[in-house]
Structure 1
């Protein structure tokens, strides 16, 4: 009975975390209406890192080794610095709904990169899932004039690829480190790598904010995006110890649906037939992954490194 209750509570926590991650692109899109990309990224990472480190220091932890710190620095470079930064740049030219759907391809990148790293072929269902999801990306590209992927789409895909690479790397190198430790250091390093770009933006004439900036933009960047990311990771780290990895992988795959829903409800964005088709293909491709594909790869999603480490602890 206790195990069943633990699994149900773990699944509920994971659904809440997935909803928060899904809302992230919508919150970022709103904040970008008043803040430049680097300001938005810097504020988000500073808020997330502050909350994660507050919890980590209160809990206490063993200091990572030099090798582990170097690995975490690489993780912070891949994501959140490159991953979130690329998605933020993409959101300046595409809608949040489109970005949420494209970010769902991270699952496909994780499966493909894990297969390459392990020097093995994915299952036939895994190959079919990647191909179908690729068709979904092509359908989303058809939503633009000229029926091709725009620069914003490509930047979001780059962010998803970077996040997937970070997930695979973390799952193989720092799997023996507590997930909260990995996540806190990862965001701290990501913030350190981002600060020079923030200073460059501020001194190059772009300024700290646009003339249209309002207190609400700062609030969303810090509390909704930054605090939300930290809370989602904390919920995930608590939930992953209670449920099987395969269940976690399936639940996390609904993140794009939460992103699509919040973009439509909060920002009033519409979705045309091509986007519906693209969403169906991407999600269908993701859910085609077999149990073997899910078992041998870390659960995907925004900020994958922390989750990858959590999965590694279960093996």
Structure 2
């Protein structure tokens, strides 16, 4: 009897613990996608804009990724969202893929990929501010300290030659960061499709908004893109959008906003390394010191007591 009782309870414990273990591994995989894969997208964008107009490339990227995801979900038998959920997806699609990524793509015409990733480190600052003052979301003192440290690094970064040489590019990057952060904070309270369906519709709406912006700004192709341009869009669509973007939305629902946006502190390392090694970009002393300060903030942002 005792053996049977122990076996039954062990089985019950194992089954009950599996969801927690699965969630832990899923969360770790999502952070890997944000930190490493998303860090490499700055390199992909830099390659892509050599062959595509910025808004056109970003629009095609998100429209393709969202369309493929939606087709797959419908094939699996998923139901279409309600109207109010589609409205929410449209709002978030404009703020995050369109403004948040589209203007980063535009800025990389003037700013190096590594510096662009450093400027995007303002996202956690904006996210906490928007969440606190617009949506009543609370932030721990530790998170505020980490954000303050990241912001100090951003201030120092602006004294470097890269951003002083391109004030327009710096402005577009800050504007993109604010748009992405507002969408991140809003996503926790606005009605939207659940799970991958939400990712698909946000990317579709974002892609449509970017293509509309491309047409309005008069972008056009002067020649058919080389295979490198198509490869860049494919990589950005599959890994940067389908995988990493979905992972980001998952983390927004399961961890604090500051932790979900902590990728902005890690992405610069990946982006700078790829830019220096593969694109021949130069990073000065200001950028290196700023990166060290900004990355130090991730310890305070991400650390959580058990």
TM-score, normalised to structure 1, is 0.78
Radius of gyration: which is bigger?
2
Contact residue 250 and residue 287 of structure 1 kept, 8 A: no
Shift in alpha-carbon separation, 1:60–1:160, aligned structure 2, 3 A: farther
Paired position in structure 2 for 1:35: 52
Shift in alpha-carbon separation, 1:132–1:52, aligned structure 2, 3 A: same
Contact residue 108 and residue 129 of structure 1 kept, 8 A: no
Given candidates 45, 58, 64, the residue that maps to 2:81 is 64
| TM-superposed deviation, 1:74 | 1.0
Paired position in structure 2 for 1:181: 197
Given candidates 150, 155, 167, the residue that maps to 1:150 is 167
User: Are 1:45 and 2:62 matched, yes or no?
Assistant: yes
Once residues 160 and 58 of structure 1 are traced to their aligned partners in structure 2, the CA distance between those partners, rounded to angstroms, is 35
Given candidates 273, 278, 287, the residue that maps to 1:266 is 278
**What CA deviation, in whole Å up to 9, does each residue of 1:158-182 have, x standing for no partner?**
111101111111111136x412111
Paired position in structure 2 for 1:245: 255
| TM-superposed deviation, 1:57 | 1.8
Contact residue 123 and residue 290 of structure 1 kept, 8 A: no
Contact residue 42 and residue 194 of structure 1 kept, 8 A: yes
**Aligned length in residues:** 285
Shift in alpha-carbon separation, 1:149–1:255, aligned structure 2, 3 A: same
Paired position in structure 2 for 1:302: none
Once residues 160 and 129 of structure 1 are traced to their aligned partners in structure 2, the CA distance between those partners, rounded to angstroms, is 17
More deviation, 103-112/253-262 = 253-262
Paired position in structure 1 for 2:215: 199
Indicate the RMSD between aligned Cα atoms, in angstroms: 3.1
Given candidates 63, 82, 97, the residue that maps to 2:114 is 97
Once residues 279 and 99 of structure 1 are traced to their aligned partners in structure 2, the CA distance between those partners, rounded to angstroms, is 12
Contact residue 115 and residue 268 of structure 2 kept, 8 A: no
| TM-superposed deviation, 1:141 | 1.3
Contact residue 123 and residue 261 of structure 2 kept, 8 A: no
**What CA deviation, in whole Å up to 9, does each residue of 1:248-287 have, x standing for no partner?**
6387352332222322233232322110111122222343
Once residues 44 and 290 of structure 1 are traced to their aligned partners in structure 2, the CA distance between those partners, rounded to angstroms, is 30
User: Are 1:227 and 2:244 matched, yes or no?
Assistant: no
| TM-superposed deviation, 1:95 | 0.1
Shift in alpha-carbon separation, 1:87–1:123, aligned structure 2, 3 A: same
- Secondary structure class of the residue paired with 1:288: helix
TM-score, normalised to structure 2, is 0.80
Paired position in structure 2 for 1:299: none
Given candidates 101, 108, 133, the residue that maps to 2:125 is 108
| TM-superposed deviation, 1:245 | 2.1
More deviation, 101-110/126-135 = 126-135
Once residues 234 and 127 of structure 1 are traced to their aligned partners in structure 2, the CA distance between those partners, rounded to angstroms, is 26
Once residues 29 and 302 of structure 2 are traced to their aligned partners in structure 1, the CA distance between those partners, rounded to angstroms, is 23
Q: Unaligned regions of 5+ residues in structure 1, if any?
A: 295-315
Once residues 143 and 28 of structure 2 are traced to their aligned partners in structure 1, the CA distance between those partners, rounded to angstroms, is 24
More deviation, 109-118/163-172 = 109-118
Contact residue 46 and residue 191 of structure 1 kept, 8 A: yes
| TM-superposed deviation, 1:48 | 1.5
Once residues 173 and 261 of structure 2 are traced to their aligned partners in structure 1, the CA distance between those partners, rounded to angstroms, is 22
Shift in alpha-carbon separation, 1:248–1:199, aligned structure 2, 3 A: same
Once residues 231 and 120 of structure 1 are traced to their aligned partners in structure 2, the CA distance between those partners, rounded to angstroms, is 27
